[in-house]
Amino acid sequence: MAGMGSMRGRRFFAKVAVTGLLLSGLGIVAASQAMASGTYQVVGTGGASLNVRSCANTSCGVIKTLAAGSWHFIACQVEGQYVTAPNGVRSHIWDQTEGGYATDLFWNTPGVDTFSMSACGQPPAQTREQKAVGWARSMIGNTGYYFLCDRFVANAFGRTYSGYASAWAHAQNLTSRGLMHQGDTNVPFGALAFFRPAWVNGYYGHVMLSEGSGRFVSGGVSTVREVGLSSSFGSYYGWAWADPEWAGR
């Protein structure tokens, strides 16, 4: 533990030193390099892997993990959720890398909680989807949603009821409005995945909430749990974003 802490200390001391150098106006070459995209190293994790997520928030799905000490291309940076390292240092800067976002706390980029390269805009996931998935994850293990999968996703978006008689009625409504991506199994983070009526779901259909990367949080079963798309809920139908009029939590 002492070794891991000292490594983090050196990593952040170095970042502060570099930031101070840039702010003082010294080293024009170093400044121009700091504002450019490039290849950087995962450091200060104590040997643990670094998560790359679908947006700049720890509630978003993990796309892949990066090994400690590995080098990866960072294209640009965004503002996101504040993350706190074990030594208390905080940062709301996230780096765009490997098709997603990773907190800047564990890279050898210059700067602490400040942009050290060009900004690339806000992460693609919407705030209501982030909150919905976060709530759904907090309900894992809950036993109160047996055969209430559509109510579960409605609750995730801050509604008491979905307003539909069943998950299948919900799916058909979204389809009639041109909002359904039928047959597409690449379900984005925060979207709803629907299944056709079958004996296994009481002929009501089924719906669950995507965490991204092929993982979902499902109500409607005896215990709320994380599942894959291939789980036996019937025949997969398609995905859609939650109803546009659902404002979210």
CA proximity to 209, closest of 247, 155, 172: 155
Q: Mean pLDDT throughout 210-236?
A: 91
Contact 71, 144 (CB under 8 A): no
- Does the pTM surpass 0.85? The reply is no
User: Which pLDDT band holds residue 36 (cuts at 50, 70, 90)?
Assistant: low
- What six digits make up the tokens of 86? 């074990």
Q: How many Cα atoms are found within 13 Å in the side-chain-facing hemisphere of 42? A: 20
Strand partners, 96: 76, 101
pLDDT of residue 136: 94
Segment 81-114, tens digit of pLDDT: 989 888 888 899 999 998 889 999 999 998 788 8
Which of 22-36, 68-82, 97-111 is predicted with the least confidence, judged by mean pLDDT? 22-36
Cα distance between residue 99 and residue 105, in whole Å: 18
Domain 127-240: which CATH number of 3.90.1720.10, 3.40.50.1820, 3.40.50.170, 3.40.309.10: 3.90.1720.10
User: Which pLDDT band holds residue 12 (cuts at 50, 70, 90)?
Assistant: very low
CA proximity to 78, closest of 106, 46, 114: 114
- What are the residue ranges spanned by the domains of the chain? 2-106, 127-240
Q: Which long-range contacts (CB under 8 A, 24 or more apart) does 178-184 make?
A: 179/240, 179/241, 179/244, 180/237, 180/238, 180/239, 180/240, 181/238, 181/239, 181/240, 182/237, 182/238, 183/236, 183/237, 183/238, 184/238, 184/239
Between 212 and 229, name the one with better pLDDT: 229
